[in-house]
Every structure is written in structure tokens, then in C-alpha cells.
Amino acid sequence: MREGMRLVACTILLVLLISGCGGSQGTSESSNSRIINGAKLETPELTGVVSVQIASLTAPGQYCTASVIGTRHLLTAAHCVPQGEYLYGVVNLPDRNVPLAMIYKNNTFETVQDLSLNDVAVLESSEDLGLPILPLFVSSSAILGEKVQLLGYGLDENEVYGELRSGSMVIRSLEYGRILLAPDENDSRACHGDSGGPAIQMHLNQDGSLQPAIIGVVSYGTDPECGPHSLIGLTNIQNTDVLDFILQVNPNVPTV
């Protein structure tokens, strides 16, 4: 099931949205975000990963990361969408900001004992984004011990945010439609407002080339302080409730 909400542009709310996105306000999972010990990417426009902000009447702007999965569709975390009447959302691109036209929040999203289940939402922009499209990795399951790459726009260890950074983590466990990641030897890790960002694995194409593809969406961390032993929970996009929802909103999303 999908729940679609049309957004109305509002200049006043856009100001609130931008002023409330610094990552230090509120108590939502998307505040105080960072990829710790990650590497800055100098050409974020080539990755298909963007930052998004969404505000409602009852909540300030949420600052999250999202992946481009269509000419106008993006994949992010459901908890990045504040409760209430949704009035404005924006996609932050290197050369412009693009308003959101629709939000589709997975109706099976829920929080059980502080853990988020089926934590995905699909956003629809008001115009073509003109960015690379990331496919979903559905041809084989995640494997324990393999590394994945995380990308996000949250705060780094130097308290700088708004720059796309990447880091790697190791798959520690697979359960209940979630993928749990642990730090690797580089000690990189995501934290809160990198929520909605992709976990990437490389798919080997028939011609021998490697294709980056989304295997999960950053959902939560086990340590509110994002310490060195923090584990990161992903929503597994291969989970039936999640994949069916994404394909219902955008039947043309590429898969590998």
C-alpha cells in the first residue's frame, strides 16, 4: 500500500525548512547526523545521491539523504517525513533546489521497541532531476561479512554538514527485513540524519563491468552518540513489503 500526499509550495515554510535543517534541533532520528570518518566526494552530482528537506505544520524541516531511482523519483527513509500536514519539501541539487510534488510513505512502516520496520518513503519531484539513477540490488541476497558503502550529507567528525561523504561498513546480521552493519577497519559509520541514504553494493554485470546498486536504506543507529561501537540498521529493499511498495510507486525503477 502507498500513501500519496501532494505538497503545496509555501515561501514562509521554506524559510523555516532551511533554518531548521542544521542537524542540531529537534529530537527526531534525522538530527545530529554524520558519516564519521568518511571520505568527501568531490563530484556528488555523479552519484545519484542528494539531500532532501521536508517540513510540516507541526515539525521543523527534516534534513535527510535520498537516492535517485527515477527521473523524478527518490528513495529515502519514512521517518524523514514528519507527522502532520505536509506543506513543503525540497531536493537540494548542486545548482538549484527542486520542490517536491508528492510524498509516498510506506503504510507498513512502524516502530517496534525503538526499531523501525519497513522504513522507506518515495519522493516525487516537480521536475526532472537530470541525475544518474541508482538501480535496486535484487538479484542476490546480502551476505554476512560483505562490505557495503554508505553515502550521506550529514555532519562529519568535524561538525561539517551538507557535503556528500562515503564510508564502508560490514554486514553483521540479517533479520526481520533489516540489515545490521558494524564498523570495519576504517571505522566509518553513519549517524541519524544520514538517514534515508543508500547502502551500496557493486553488481557484476554480464559484460564484466561493476554497477553500484542499492541494497538498503539507512534507518537507525544503536548508539545515540554515534560512538565507535555503533551499529547501523538498514531497511532491506529486498523485503517484500518494501520492494512491492517501491515498485508500486515507480514501476520503472531499474533493478539488477
Render pLDDT for 230-252 as a digit per residue (tens, 0 to 9): 789 999 999 999 999 999 999 99
CB atoms under 10 Å from CB of 34, counted, come to 25
Residue-wise pLDDT tens digits, 144-154: 999 999 999 87
> CA-to-CA distance for 81 and 51, rounded, in angstroms?
13
In this structure, what DSSP letter does residue 187 have?
-
Question: Looking at 25-34, 73-82, 184-193, which range is the least confident one?
Answer: 25-34
Q: Which of 110, 88, 126, 77 lies closest to 246, judged by CA?
A: 77
Grid cell for residue 6: 501532494
pLDDT value of position 17? 39
| Cα dihedral value 126, 198, 251, 1, nearest 10 | -90
> Is residue 124 over pLDDT 80?
yes
> Is residue 168 over pLDDT 60?
yes
Grid cell for residue 158: 568535524
* Top-confidence residue, 245 or 22: 245
pLDDT value of position 198? 96
Third-level CATH fold of 1-256: Thrombin, subunit H (2.40.10)
Residue-wise pLDDT tens digits, 23-74: 333 333 333 334 544 445 555 557 899 999 998 887 777 789 999 999 999 9
| In contact, 157 and 36? CB cutoff 8 Å | yes
